[in-house]
A and B are shown apart, each in its own frame.
Chain A
């Protein structure tokens, strides 16, 4: 069986299938263990493994029309089991070394990859003790700017607008952070942004031409913005983290865009609440994460950003953040 090696979020993946979304790399040297990713497509007639006999540690707040949660997750001593209502299953070793992806033939493979590159690798990073924020990241003057926000807050849209204004994209959906001697780095993701059609249209107009991520899955219409060609630049090297901007959509939205500093204790809560793997399945790791975030906040500035309700102000929102960031960088 063929093995393909990829680099993403500072990890090396070893996959039994080609993943054109990712950046190919060489097999790793000894001591740098890859994450083994195995894919297994199943026909409808083969039953999927049942969930472990215990309560789920995670139940997604998003539900289908019949009130069933779209995602549930369980764990035992060795594995996390992440089951999607549509039949996609991911089995993750608690050592963060292996992922088994099982999905029914009716689901487009692009959808499976999108879940792998988001919440599943977010869990792997967390299991490996790497901070993984719900965030997108761009590069300005050789420093990483992280846009933090909950699901649907517009992180990718804002990163796309910043890219249009000349910034290289570093990562979408996950910002993987590592630290050495109080220097925090953000690792590159993969050379694409994922956008809803409304966001693509707001930035590039109705003829945006962005292709669907999962053309065979009608219920999910996200699009890929391909990066790494022409002006749509992508950064392939880890970058020094300088600032985090938290997208705060509390009601009511302000009439004018606001960018303000946060108290450290407020920033700690925002960052912890918006890390991947929010579950409490490992108390020790959660405490370690709070401790890591406290150290992060000693070297990184955090701002809250309150956008207006009008998507047409996206260029102004991007400019307001970039101006604030440039001020911070120029003070170094």
Chain B
């Protein structure tokens, strides 16, 4: 599976940080989602930039992880967010 190059946070999602972790709320479904520390950082980067390559580059700087593993993790993370309706993939 390849990583989508451009994604956007759904307009129905609001979020709140608490004790260093994010709680996301999808207003359409009234479902809540929790993100851990790394997920929280990825989400914050996503609020600033929709280009996943830029997010990956920044995460490589901040976390002690090899690029292959990070790419796999971010790909999985984004697919989970898409499945939950929290982000949408923008067309190329």
Q: A286's contact among B21, B23, B25, by CB below 8 Å, is which?
A: B25
B14 cross-chain contacts in A, Cβ below 8 A? 283, 286-287, 290
Given A272-B25, A280-B27, A280-B28, are A265 and B12 neighbors across the interface (CB < 8 Å)? no
Residues of B within 8 A of A (CB): 12, 14-19, 21, 23, 25, 27-28, 30, 32, 34
Interface string of A284-317 (1 = CB under 8 A from B): 0011001101100100000000000000000000
Q: Which residues of A contact B30 (CB under 8 A)?
A: 273, 278, 280
- 26 of the cross-chain contacts (CB-CB < 8 Å) are A263-B19, A265-B19, A268-B16, A268-B18, A268-B23, A269-B23, A269-B32, A269-B34, A272-B25, A272-B32, A273-B30, A280-B12, A280-B28, A280-B30, A283-B27, A286-B14, A286-B27, A287-B16, A290-B14, A290-B15, A290-B16, A290-B23, A293-B16, A294-B16, A294-B18, A297-B18
| Residues of chain A within 8 A of B16, CB atoms compared | 268, 287, 290-291, 293-294
Min C-beta distance of A177 to chain B, whole Å:
17
Query: When chains A and B are docked, how far (Å) is the Cα of A272 from the Cα of B27?
Result: 12
5 residue pairs, one from A and one from B, having the closest CB atoms: A280-B27, A290-B16, A287-B14, A269-B32, A264-B19
> Do B27 and A265 have beta carbons less than 8 Å apart?
no
How many chain A residues have a CB neighbour from B under 8 Å?
A: 17
B21 contacts across to A, CB distance below 8 A: 265
Find chain A residues with CB under 8 A from B27 CB.
280, 283, 286
Q: Which of B12, B15, B17 has its CB near the most chain A CB atoms (within 10 A)?
A: B17
Contact with B along A246-284 (1 / 0, CB 8 A): 000000000000000001110011001100001010010
